[in-house]
Structure 1
């Protein structure tokens, strides 16, 4: 929890720092946070401290790790955006894809180092301390080719009357964008409406899987669904960049995103209505939902920054996108609350559902079984996805 909160809360400050001082400084900050955090975690997990002290140190360590992760990610994204401003594939999709697949190769690295089924936490944390020391140094020197933004080059207007050059400061441009236009706020709302349901789904796959099948003996395999989600999420991050690069003006990012959200809304609605029917197995419905949600999740975090970059320019991209990243966190809380309320209300009727399955003896208090556990939730998320797509198209037309 501490890592998740610290990844979202300071992001607006991180984005502003990248715009103001250049992305290279974020690489140094990330190493300055990563290394002591992982070394501290390694020390306390192999110490004789009390449980309360260990938990306290780990909470602080993972809070630093969360902030360091955001710093390193923004360093990569801002550097790529400034190096390749005309290539969506290189500027946005490449760093977003790398971020998404980093856990895959790192887990394989740790498995190779440890070579047994027992997790050696001190070894794991010390390995990460060394890894991120090297990563931070490399990122800093890689980002040095990108200087602090020059407003004379990126934000210059020529007066029509006397051709006098007016230089617009990035901070002034940010204030102007936030106070004179509704577009940043509408994009924030659209991101909340679209990323929130996807975060909710990912956080509740395990409990949702138990509601289908007969809820017990033939429940949906939650680990398989998470694997499908992760695979299609990682794939879409890269493929969306390729598609936008090839499509050009024929299918700009807002159109691709709106179409993706429309399809996702349709799948959510069909899942809510027909997932408990006998026409297809519950596993088939759930797998379809996991695949579509995974693809959309990766697409959202690739296409939204492209839209922000196109709409507001490079000079304030870090600040604006950094502020918008808080939307998924808020959406996760809001839609998680909706899921929880619907699930708890549905649990009241679960005895009757288990009776129809012949499983009354296996009833667990608080566990929900049947379509009533999620139907209303996915009707709401379908409407939310549709509304988010329409907002994206509206902002695009106003740009």
Structure 2
């Protein structure tokens, strides 16, 4: 602040930046990136200028620091913001699911269920940051749980979360807001504005969300007649969901709802809320009453062991269930059939005037079962 009481971009010479900082306590379950934005706005600075002063040369806003914050950068943020290192880590997504750092091997599994924000330089091209308009209206805080792919509703207010500006439809980017991160950075409209529409689908979404939250809240998860470790359940669930997606459109009668074909090929973290809700609802149906529902679905959908690949990282209890599936639906090609296929392909590749005659002769012999005899 200068002699006229103005907050400008430059600090007067001789001012210690560490003494100039003051402490702002993080809110409960607050997201680290939005905490830094809130902190910068409280000091009359843009988020970019605020972090450049405290951590010069460190890339912050062109990274997803909520899911990939390293220990050295975490320590520097803690020192700069007058916080304990544990307080900084408590605002990250990997801490939300019980990991000490993003280098934990199992964190890669959870990242597949963290909504992608689509970082492109300092922009966000995807709608991965969700929010409850009523919560945001009461307190300017973005919660960590809103980044989870299986979180769809606010359990406090019973409404679906939003993922864009209600006025212009732009993705939420708090770090680009000039003064107030509860406003759209592009059009300036309140993110909590507009009509909050109640939906009859909220109870189903809340129940799906409650069951999926076990993946981050419980150390052990009940599965059938036994309890399994959280990490093992997650590994199995990720694998099962991938296989279910691959067989959805070939057997649409198995499901009471439609999922666009794009949802089959795209990763879960890239999908919109309706698609994610449908997929996680299906996942819970297949995983329920384990392994009866899974085996029944696999039998009807024609799923074999091949669909699960080599299953190197799948827990043993799931390997035992997958082993009950047929190895393949068709028998392996015998040596004679393989030789016949190679012979026909060679004829087609060589071409020539006699190609058609020789191929027709070979096909006729194969049809009579005399090829190779």
TM > 0.5: no
Structure holding more helix per residue = 1
Greater radius of gyration (CA): 2
TM-score (norm 1): 0.28
Which one has more relative contact order, counting CA pairs under 8 Å at least 6 apart? 1
Under a length normalisation based on structure 2, what TM-score does the superposition of the two structures give?
Answer: 0.29
